[in-house]
Structure 1
Amino acid sequence: MPGRSIQVEGLMIAVREAGPMAAPAFLLLHGWPQSSHAFEPAMERLSQKYHVIAPDLPGIGGSFGAPKAGDKKTLARLMKSVADAFMLDRPVIVGHDVGGQVVFSMLRNHRDALAGAVIMDVAIPGISPWEEVVRNPQIWHFAFHAVPRLPEELVTGHERAYFDFFFDALSKDGSAISSEARDIYAEAYSRPESLKAGFDWYRAFAVDARENTMTPKTGIDLPVLYLRGSAEPGAVEDYLEGLRSAGLTNIEGGIIPDSGHFAADENPGALVERLVRFREEVR
Structure 2
Amino acid sequence: MPELRRVPVNGIELNVALAGSGPAVLLLHGFPHTWELWTDVMAGLSDRHRVIAPDLRGFGASSRAATGYDAGTLAADAAALLAALGVESAAVVGIDAGTPPAFLLAMRHPGLVRRLVVMESLLGRLPGGESFLAGGPPWWFGFHAVPGLAETVLEGHESAYVDWFLQSGTLGDGVRPALRDAFTAAYTGREALRCAFSYYRALPESAAQIAEAVATARLTVPAMAVGAHPVGTALEQQLRPIADDLTGHVIEGCGHIIPLHRPKELLALLRPFLR
Q: Settle same-fold status: TM greater than 0.5.
A: yes
- Matched residue, 2:3: 2
**In structure 2, do the counterparts of structure 1 residues 234 and 78 end up closer, same or farther at CA, with 3 Å as the change threshold?**
closer
Q: Could you report, residue by residue, the CA deviation over 1:235-261 in whole angstroms, capped at 9, with x for unpaired residues? A: 41x43232133x222111012344210
- The TM-score normalised by the length of structure 1 is 0.90
Q: Is the 8 A contact 1:134 1:142 kept in 2?
A: no
**Residue 16 of structure 2: aligned partner:** 15
Distance 1:47 1:197 in 2: 30
- Structure-2 separation of matches of 1:216 and 1:128: 13
- Give the conservation status (yes or no) of the 8 Å contact 2:37–2:260: yes
Structure 1 163/129 Cα, relative in aligned 2: closer, same or farther at 3 Å? farther
What CA distance in whole angstroms lies between the structure 1 residues aligned with 2:69 and 2:217? Answer: 26
SS in 2 for 1:117: strand
In structure 2, the residue matched to 1:146 is 145
Whole-Å separation in 1 of the counterparts to 2:165 and 2:64:
26
2:8 maps to amino acid:
Q
2:190 corresponds in structure 1 to 192
Q: Which AA in structure 1 matches 2:17? A: R
**Which residue in the other structure is 1:79 paired with?**
78
Q: Which residue of 2 aligns with 1:277?
A: 272
- DSSP 3-state at the match of 1:136: coil
Shift, 1:38, TM fit: 0.7
SS at match of 1:3: strand
How do 1:156-175 and structure 2 match up within 5 A?
A: 156-175=155-174
Q: Which runs of 5+ in 1 are unaligned?
A: none
Please give the alpha-carbon distance, in whole angstroms, between the structure 2 residues aligned to 1:67 and 1:224.
32
Corresponding position of 1:265: 260
Q: Equivalent residues in 2 for 1:59-78 (5 A)? A: 59-66=58-65, 68-78=67-77
Preserved contact between residue 9 and residue 81 of structure 2 (Cα < 8 Å):
yes
> What is the CA distance between 1:194 and its match in structure 2?
2.2
Residue 179 (1) aligns with residue 174 (2): no
Q: How many Å apart are 1:112 and its aligned residue?
A: 1.7
Identity %, equivalent residues: 29
Does structure 2 conserve the Cα–Cα contact (< 8 Å) formed by 1:172 and 1:260? yes
Instruction: Provide closer, same or farther for how the CA distance between residues 146 and 84 of structure 1 changes in structure 2, counting only shifts above 3 A.
Output: same
Structure holding more helix per residue? 1
Q: Distance in 2 between matches of 1:13 and 1:191?
A: 19
SS at match of 1:123: coil
Which structure 2 residue ranges, 5 or more long, are not aligned?
Answer: none
Aligned residue pairs, count: 273
Provide the C-alpha distance between the structure 2 equivalents of 1:211 and 1:145, rounded to a whole number of angstroms. Answer: 20
In structure 1, distance between residues paired with 2:232 and 2:36: 28
1:123–1:133 CA contact under 8 A, matched in 2: no
What residue is the counterpart of 1:204 in the other structure? 202
CA distance in 1, matches of 2:67, 2:106: 22
What is residue 224 of structure 2 aligned with on the other side? 225
CA offset at residue 133 of structure 1?
4.2
Is 1:254 the counterpart of 2:254 in the alignment? Answer: no
Contact 1:128/1:239 (8 A) holds in 2: no
Cα distance between partner residues in 1 of 2:268 and 2:167: 25
Does residue 243 of the first structure (1) align with residue 239 of the second (2)? yes
Query: CA separation of 1:143/1:210 partners in 2, compared to 1, >3 Å: closer, same or farther?
Result: same
Q: Deviations over 1:121-156 (max 9, x none)?
A: 111111134455456357111111100000010112
Q: CA deviation at 1:179?
A: 2.3
User: Are the aligned partners of 2:122 and 2:129 in contact in 1 as well (CA < 8 Å)?
Assistant: yes
Kindly tell me: are residues 194 and 134 of structure 1, through their superposed partners in 2, closer, same or farther at Cα, counting changes over 3 Å? farther
Separation (CA, whole Å) in 2 of partners of 1:170 and 1:17: 26
TM-score (norm 2): 0.93
Q: 1:233 to 1:205 in 2, by over 3 A?
A: same
Give 3-state SS (helix, strand or coil) of 2:111's partner: helix
